[in-house]
Each structure stands twice: as C-alpha cells, then as structure tokens.
Structure 1
Amino acid sequence: MAITSKSSKAWFERINGSKNMLWLLGTLSFLETIILPIPIELILIPLMAANRQRIWLLATVTTAGCLIASLVGYGVGMLLFQSIGMWFIELMGWQESYQFFQTFFNQYGFAAILAIGILPIPFQIAMITAGLSGYSVLLFTLAVLIARGLRYYGLAWLVSRFGHRVLMLWKRHALLTSVVGGVIVLLIVLGLQVLTSQVM
C-alpha cells in the first residue's frame, strides 16, 4: 500500500507541476467520460485544493473535456451503433443498464439525460442512446452542460470552502449525494414539464 500511495502522490505532483496541467486534466476528463472506470474526482479534488486561484478554470476544463467526449459518444450512437456502440455496451456488461435507460429516456428525454449525468449510472449509455434516437444535439449538449456543470462547479465551490476535506467526504458520501442530487434534478425538471404542459 505504501508503494501505491507513493506512486499516486508522485503522479499527482507530476500533473500538478506540469505546465500542461489543464490539457492533462481535460484529457483525463475526456477519457473518464468515454471509457476510464476511475472517477475524475480522485484527481480533480486534490488539484482544486492545490490550485484554489484557478479552481473555476479547473472546473471549466473538466466540464469541457466531458462535453467533447459526450458529443463523440453521441456520434457513435448516431452513426456507429450497430458496430461500435453495441460492441462497447456488451464489452462493459451494460446490457441491463442500457435497456433500463432506453425506457427511461423514451419517457423523459431531457430530464433522463440530466439525471444520468448526476446519478452513478454509466453516462456512456446516455450518450449512445441520445445519438441513436436522433435526439436534438443542442438539447443533449445543454443537458450535459447542466448535469456535469452542477457536478464539477459544485465540487469547486465545496473545495473553495472546505479544502482537502472534500475528498474524504466525497469518498464517503459520493453514491448517496449522486442519488439524492439526481432525484432532485429529475423532480425539478419533471415539475417544470408539467407546469409547461398546463400553461400550453
């Protein structure tokens, strides 16, 4: 464990001290959104705590990396579902999650993308499903920006207030916070949809 800890610390210090830190963070965010099973928060929170003067820039770069990756996933769903999309879902063992989200998405659309952007469900499923269905790319982009913006800018605010302690809190309560946050956002959006339909 000591070796792992030392190597992780050295890796973090290498990224933190690099003049290309922002590019590295954006690339990690892109890869995490596309395929990496490691949460970006594990590196993002310490980086934010060590660079509070650039904390909002770090949140912006992370959100941008996620957005670009989301649009790539959308394109895979729209153009390459039968070849790459289906193969990727089967490779990751997400068949049940994909079927569940398809039903969820068909019923709620925009709200479903918002919720899965916060809930601990693989976001790749939302990207591929939205592209496959021909869902509006503008609405998809907006949903990604809101969902991931809440996630990363929310972390930036917490780190600006509480510093390194946020990482410990995140490790303890990430699942519960994600579920609660996803449910709240879903209820708000659905409530707005109901109000809009009544007004119209």
Structure 2
Amino acid sequence: MLRNLYNWTMALAARKSAAWWLAIIAFVESSFFLVPADVLFVPMVLAKPRRAYLYATIATVASVLGGVLGWLIGHYAFETIARPVLTFYGKLDTFDSLAASVDWKTMLILLVTSGLAHLPPIKVVTILSGVAGFSLPLFILSAIIARGARFFALAWLLNTYGEEMRHFIEKRLKIISALAAAGLIGVYAVYMLH
C-alpha cells in the first residue's frame, strides 16, 4: 500500500496541476484535513528539484492562510464547525487537555512545534489559537516562521541530496515510514506526559 501511495504521489508531482494540489492540501491541512502537505511536497521536489523553493513558498503561504482559517474557525465558530471536526478526527480529547492548560507562551510553543513537526497536529493548534484568543498577528508571524522553516529546510535537503535521497527513500520506504511514525508518537507521548 505504501508503495502504491508513493508511486501515485510521484506521478501526481509530475503533473502541471501539482502546484495547485500542493496549495490546496497545505491550506486544508492547517485547518481541518488530516493528511500533511509533505505527502505531496516531498515527491514534487524530488520530481522537479529546480522548483524546490517555489514549492516551499507555495506550501508556506497556503499553510499560513489555512492556519488563519483554523484560527477564525476556533475564534468565531468553535461549536458549529470546530467541535464536530475535532470529534470526527478523534482529536477532541487532545484539544480539551491543551485548552485547559494553555497560556500565550504555551500557545507560541505549540505553534512552533506543530508547524515544524506536526506535534500536536497543526489543525488542533490553529483552532485552539482562535479559541484562546491568541493574537492573530503573532499567530501569523509564528506560522510563517515555523511552516516556512519546515518547508524551506525540506526543500534545501531534497534539492541538495535529491537523487540520493530519492533512491534511499525508495529502497527503505517501509522502514522509514515505521521509524518516522514511531518517532512522532514517542515525541508526542513525551510532550503530553510533561
């Protein structure tokens, strides 16, 4: 299944419409969609390394705009929109535990960690920021920095080590996926226990 998904995203990454799909996925990921933009971003950069920084810019801008939508949903429409979305994805308990202990410093840390490493998921943090009334200008600035750092660092790595990285990924796709999932779960568990 992973191999089929990888092949599908590599084929999609080579299409003329790939940049639009990247923008759409990066936008919806930040407010309500479960799949991270990296699923399309990485194969797009591997397929066309010369466009790495253009793709990073598209992903960053779309992700920040999607984050603003998440903030607006949390601030103005939590009960009607956010609660059902969080319930659907099984994130309402995570949200409630975060909301009970959040201040502006914690919110800023969560924005940075979710922007860089998806921990906790970015959509949870964007909605939480709106519910908590976190400053929208500071929210936008931190999202630009965190999401931009993530996408531009990935763009640099993939642009610099593209073919080697591609062969490495293709040979070890299952192992890489399992290790990445285990690492993310471990970091998230440590974060939630503190």
TM-score by length of 2: 0.77
Deviates more, 1:33-42 or 1:153-162: 33-42
**1:39-188 map, 5 Å:** 39-106=36-103, 108=105, 109-119=107-117, 120-164=119-163, 165=165, 168=169, 171=177, 172-173=179-180, 176=183, 179=187
User: How far 1:124 moved relative to its partner?
Assistant: 1.2
Offset of residue 144 of structure 1: 0.9
Q: How many residues align?
A: 178
Distance 1:62 1:12 in 2: 17
Q: Is the 8 A contact 1:29 1:66 kept in 2?
A: yes
Q: Which moved more, 1:5-14 or 1:141-150?
A: 5-14
Aligned to 1:26: 23
Aligned-partner SS, 2:44: helix
Could you tell me which amino acid in structure 2 is paired with residue 113 of structure 1? Answer: L
* Alignment match, 2:7: 9
Give 5+ residue unaligned stretches, structure 2.
none
Aligned 8 A contact 1:104 1:112 in 2 = no
Larger Rg: 1
Shift of 1:153: 0.8
> What is the distance in 2 between the residues matched to 1:6 and 1:133?
41
| 2: CA distance, partners of 1:47 / 1:34 | 22
| CA distance, structure 2, for counterparts of residue 175 and residue 104 of structure 1 | 26
TM-score, scaled to structure 1: 0.75
Shift of 1:76: 0.5
Deviations 1:157-177 (A, max 9, x none): 110221142673863447648
The separation in 1 between residues aligned to 2:149 and 2:182, in whole angstroms, is: 15
Going from structure 1 to structure 2, the CA distance change for 1:76 and 1:107 (only over 3 Å counts) comes to: closer
Q: Percent identity?
A: 22
1:78 Cα deviation from its structure 2 partner: 1.0
Deviations 1:18-67 (A, max 9, x none): 1x332221112113333333232222112112212111010010111111
Moved over 4 A (4+): 4-8, 177-180
